[in-house]
Amino acid sequence: MAGSHNDDETDDAYDAAFDQHRAALYDMLMDYADTHELSDSFMAVLASDIGLSLRMVAYAAETEKPSVGGLRLDLDRYARELGDSVRDAKKYAAEFIAEAKAAQEADEEEDDDEDEDGAAEGEPKAQPS
């Protein structure tokens, strides 16, 4: 039983590290996309392509005797893992859309407030003449 407690701690540490690095990479990707005026859908394709390339490199680098057949099997595993991720995302589609709509409405309200004031948040408002 002591082993399962350590496994839980290891899983928790892995999950925490995963979440931390995912958030950092996401922020970097979004900053890059903003700088270069790239759409979210274009960034999704780029990130997917990079993920596939990294998976292939990882197989070649981390396998004692990499082979074409082994790479193909690993890519099949990767496709299943991605399929699992998509199925999980579908389970939370309603929550995601509700949050996205709420965020859009909040952005629109903020934009309306800026238009009424004539200044963005943090900027001085126009002085009456």
CA–CA separation, 32 and 127 (whole Å): 37
The answer to whether residue 109 sits within a structural domain is yes
Is there a domain that residue 72 lies in?
Answer: yes
In a domain, 62, yes or no: yes
In a domain, 60, yes or no: yes
| Dihedral pair phi/psi, residue 38, rounded to 5° | -100, 140
Q: Report the C-alpha gap between 49 and 68 in whole angstroms.
A: 19
pLDDT digits (tens, 9 = 90+) for 47-71: 999 999 999 999 999 999 999 999 9
70 contacts 63 by C-beta, under 8 angstroms: yes
Q: How many domains does the chain have?
A: 1
Instruction: Domain of residue 71: give its range.
Output: 34-114
In a domain, 73, yes or no: yes
Task: Give mean pLDDT, residues 118-125.
Answer: 53
In a domain, 48, yes or no: yes
Question: Is position 98 within any domain?
Answer: yes
pTM of the model: 0.72
Neighbour count for residue 103 (Cβ, 10 Å): 10
Looking at residue 121, its amino acid is E
Average pLDDT over residues 58-85: 98
